[in-house]
Structure 1
Amino acid sequence: DHVGFFTVKNMPVGSCLIVASKNELVGNAEFKVEKGEVVSVEIILGESVVKKSDLVGWILSILILIAIILLIIWFILKKKPKKSKKEVKNEDSEEKRSKQTLALMKTLSEKEKKVVDFLLEHKNKASQAKIRHNTKVPRTSLTRVLQSLERKKIVEIQKEGKMVSVKLTKFFLGKE
């Protein structure tokens, strides 16, 4: 019933354990049943029980919330273009470039601009390997780009064994 009384007729002989709970409280009692005996047992509800399913649910909710917040922060930081020192140098060096250099830059393809910009940032000379690694232009494409720039008299290519050095021409820099 609503108070907690119950009766069991025909209980087996031996030791028994009764566990009772209400809301978050729990209690238990152990007793022995003998043949033909009537037993009355009182259980005191005193131990508090935290429902593990509720605790697990809260922990999972908090972890999911933290993960969502971290993802949002990561996307925000990823989208913001950071102005690096190279970009600041590019802005300063663009002001210092000659009119001829700027005019020739406008005629170049995207990959050619990448290579020329890299050379301008690195004192007008670099090895082909450094250019390839920093500009992320594939090896064959870079070879073709460098040949094209050499035909346009923008770069000079010097081969020393396996080492290929590339430098900007005086014509391109406007020093002639």
Structure 2
Amino acid sequence: MRLFRTAALAVFLILLTSFVHAQNSDAPPPVPTGDYKITFYLTDSQGAKIPDSQAYFTFTNEKGTSVQAASPVRSGIAYAYLDRGDWEGIVEVDDPLTPAYDYALAFNTSVSSDANTTLSLYEISSTNLRIHDEAGLLVPSVSVSLDCVRVPPSEKNKFPKDALSATSSPEGTLLLRHVPIGNCYIYAAKDNRVGMISVNSSRGEIVERTAVLKDKVKDDMLSSLPFFVVLIAALIIMYFIFVKKKGDENGEAPQHGKPIRSEGTASHEEKARTAKPHEEGKQIPDKPSSVSAEKLSGILNTLDAREKKIVELVRKNGGQMKQSKIYHTLLYPKASLSRMLRSLERKNIITLEPFGNSKSVRLSDWLQK
């Protein structure tokens, strides 16, 4: 009987030890020991108190020493203890009612005594990103960057360093833990392949996304024989319509299927081909649109050289131009220009709208926000 009681007691102690260990393993890291108590008043971007939750702090001083602290957030207040000195801090706030971190901020603080500090935190979400090639295979070690509507360039330093740029794992996956809420564009690039996707998230949400890397210069339309047949037929029809129109304007009738032209009169295409680049350049007003340099740089990295020239030219003309003016300025073949404009439209970089016998080329609205 005594042996039975001893065995039962031993089992109870083992279970109790396992339970205590499990509880301690999930506990937040201890608050670091320091000479001074820093009281943090935490608000969101609208000035409202952060709801009751858990705050995790990481501090690094000028010597490279890092300390971590965890503090409950009650009525928007959290605490940490630090020694004297200048510290770079990162705070992450986790609401237990959501599956991911909810708020984050990178900040600096100088400590010489007990102090109170107010921090205005950004609302964030997480994105679980998988990066494939066109064959569906995961691509390792891909450079990833974010461009978010709610984060102007002047405020990017208020996010943790890995928030807006990072590198995927050797397996081709990446967990972005500090993605600003709202509309963001994620750019992935490796070697000569690029990909772009959009994310629209809410606070504390985990979003699953897949980016597909494609060759910069690849255009599926080029491998389509029917496309070329239709294009050539359209060009022939346009040529005869143009010839007839010019003949009518000059009061001349075509003979034997050929237009009669006065000596010294050049066709529209001949003038475009012989126009000097610097003369055409004088016709372009320098009215850049409001596209930010960072956003434009991210977009141009996904394009080939000729597509870049088109986007930069439209931007310098206030974000909108006629297709015919682009043709006269850059002197690209009309068929190639039409194909490149359709490619840019499919990438949601420009929009094409009818404009008389031509088309109006305009930078997409999201680029000019």
TM-score by structure 2 length? 0.21
**1 or 2, which has the higher helix percentage?**
1
Bigger relative contact order (CA 8 A; separation at least 6): 1
Is the radius of gyration larger for structure 1 or structure 2? 1
